[in-house]
Structure 1
């Protein structure tokens, strides 16, 4: 695979990452944590990471960010590393629809970009994506059409997306630049952005 061209941001930016793991109490450094550390060092994008293993844990983590973290306005991207299919997520062997997720965070994600790693397929209809955005208040939702056991988006194209977004937050331009510079990878994983 060729080297990725990753723009470096001039100012410090922030990502809030929630990863679903088998046991949130197990003290373990996941691959995602290592990647986020590398992004912080090399791309000037700081992250807050939280592991969760239940829907309640996911809700509690986002509520903490919303109500207890006074820097919430600094986090423009909420990065979700959660398995699932086209219109649902899988947490602790239970499937939750994107509609249920939207209703859970009704009006709470105002102006945020919700980005799913390719552990979850993101293949929404126009109505489903618009419902999610309208109900949550999110600015956009993005992810990938194709999952890959061998090629994690966290290692590759997610970091490009984060940097590109913070370099130019015009979403149309971000998508255009990603496909212009990394068309093979974007096409292989089926990068999608709904806004």
Structure 2
């Protein structure tokens, strides 16, 4: 099966020099094996590492236009991400990637609660050019969003309309969407 959905995953870790196989890596491998969805996985431990990884993808990877989903697995809360105990607002992140996310879906795992007001969400979308930003309103230490993330990513294989994808996700995974409070800003 030829895939046309590509995922770029960036996971925040305490030390990017240390190699470990995280749950995220295992889930991306499972998506590749079961659904044929291609992904690139990188780690970062600083805002500079985040910027460097995304810039390398933007400027060095000639397939960047094929990456529909930018999957961010990092701690944080509401309108910020946390890298190595430093907090950065999504406005700061948006400014780093001004105009560089055209047409992309920026998706946060539930390690970070995504709680934006309409103005914050619109600012991020306008500055980055992203098509949408999605994530979860609640985080549970015992429940990761990985199963729902995989279901969400898999729906991009069959559908292009983000609203249709989210509606279908809610139809197929209603209890999990409700439990984790799945959110989409577009």
CA distance in 1 between counterparts of 2:94 and 2:159 reads: 27
In 1: Cα distance, 2:4 partner to 2:68 partner: 12
**Aligned-residue RMSD, C-alpha:** 1.0
Deviation at residue 10 of structure 1 after TM alignment: 5.8
Match of 2:132 among 136, 140, 143: 140
Name the structure 2 match of 1:101.
93
Q: Does 1:190 align with 2:181?
A: yes
Q: Which residue of 2 aligns with 1:27?
A: 19
Aligned residues: 186
What is the Cα deviation at residue 166 of structure 1?
Answer: 2.6
Q: Structure 2 matches for 1:140-159, cutoff 5 A? A: 140-154=132-146, 156-159=147-150
Mapping 1:76-95, distance limit 5 Å? 76-95=68-87
1:25-69, CA deviations, whole angstroms, 9 ceiling, x for partnerless residues?
Answer: 012111111111111000110100001111100000000000000
> How many angstroms apart in 1 are the aligned matches of 2:185 and 2:66?
22
Query: TM-score when scaled to structure 2?
Result: 0.97
Q: Which runs of 5+ in 1 are unaligned?
A: 1-8
> How much does 1:165 deviate?
2.2
1:167 to 158, 167, 177: 158
1:68 is aligned to 2:68: no
Which position in structure 2 is the counterpart of 1:51? 43
Identify unmatched segments of 5+ residues in structure 2.
none
Per the normalisation by structure 1, the TM-score is 0.93
Write the deviation string for residues 94-136 of structure 1: whole angstroms up to 9, x where unpaired.
0000110111110111110000000010111111100000000
